[in-house]
Homo-oligomer: A and B are copies of this chain.
């Protein structure tokens, strides 16, 4: 659904960033943290990943107000060595802890070639790809994993066992950084949700119902169903790596210990998730000059892009290419949002008395 057309309301990204930071500050965040969170959210929309952009803001605010997210969270390094750090996210917004964790990882990798930073006691961190992109833009390779509240079955299970935590990586290139960010379910939970809202049936194999059986009814999801991993044991095992690194090794919650989930799969807004995040940061210079590496990456991506195309295909993309092009265009032309997202922002603006500020984010 990331590609669903967003259009009705064309907003300026810089002014939107400022706007988003205000409600976050009004519920207790420091200006610095609020701007970090706003930056991650708006840039995610700039890059076309609307599922993980500012549409989440009202939900975060609600969770802060309910006590599930700590707006005054400190970024606390519990333990560190030259090349590793373990961070307590202090039940804060995952975006802020992750942004700082990546900065710390880059600093460590810059001195010691490779670094691993783990965060525990965190909440939703938005788009994993953002942190991978941060690494790539700084000239580093980044690998990002997280766990999430459970929503997906595993091979052989009847019901939800693991979250649907994404795997992301970022790699510097001569052109746009390579940024890959996917979760291992056949389709995203939001796809099922949107089908349910629209009374559309779904493709068999996307979810199982509460009896563990395939179904085409999207309402079976909220009734205790589960997302299905791609390629069965492959998607299961790839997701498990996030649970092991970001969950088990960080000391965060694991599987059913993440958040407090109702039968509908939704987490209680007043209960911190206690998810973990894992950031592996690698300095290409440890192996060859950054320029040489970028040149080699470009040789590879050029070969991929210029491969013979299947019938009806105009262009072959490498991961992150579409997003980089969207970002360039939208910085210039504004980001289009549909009524649903606009109205949710408007409601938020009314709550905090900043409707004028929201209106001024409009490009036209």
By a beta-carbon cutoff of 8 Å, the part of chain A in contact with chain B is: 79, 81-84, 86, 112-116, 118, 141, 143, 153-159, 161-162, 167, 169, 171, 178, 180, 182, 184, 186, 208, 211-213, 230-231, 233-235, 237-238, 240-241, 243-245, 247-251, 254-256, 280, 282, 284, 286-288, 293, 296-297, 299-300, 303-304, 307-311, 313, 315-319
Contact = CB atoms under 8 A, between A and B. Distances in A.
A303 B255 contact: yes
Contact of A300 (B235, B244, B313): B244
A156 B255 contact: no
Interface of A is mostly: mixed
Given A83-B113, A180-B237, 7 more contacts: A161-B307, A162-B304, A180-B238, A248-B296, A248-B297, A251-B287, A255-B304
Given A156-B310, A167-B238, A300 B141 contact: no
A8 to B, nearest CB: 28
B230 A231 contact: yes
Contacts of A243: 300
Contact of A315 (B118, B156, B233, B304): B156
20 contacts: A82-B112, A82-B113, A84-B287, A114-B114, A141-B249, A154-B304, A157-B307, A158-B309, A161-B307, A171-B244, A211-B311, A212-B308, A213-B311, A231-B231, A231-B235, A240-B304, A244-B300, A251-B288, A254-B299, A254-B303
Given A249-B293, A309-B158, A313-B156, A286 B81 contact: yes
A81 B293 contact: no
Contact of A81 (B113, B159, B184, B251): B113
A212 B311 contact: yes
Nearest to A183: B234
A71 to B, nearest CB: 27
A285 to B, nearest CB: 10
A83 B83 contact: yes
Nearest to A178: B244
Find the residue from A297, A308, A309 having the highest chain B CB count within 10 A.
A308
Contacts of A112: 81-83, 112
A309 B156 contact: yes
Contacts of A81: 112-113, 286
B318 A240 contact: yes
A266 to B, nearest CB: 20
Find the residue from A161, A167, A244, A251 having the highest chain B CB count within 10 A.
A244
B287 A249 contact: yes
Contact of A116 (B113, B157, B162, B311): B113
Contacts of A113: 81-84, 116
A293 to B, nearest CB: 6
A170 to B, nearest CB: 10
A184 B239 CA distance: 14
A156 B317 contact: yes
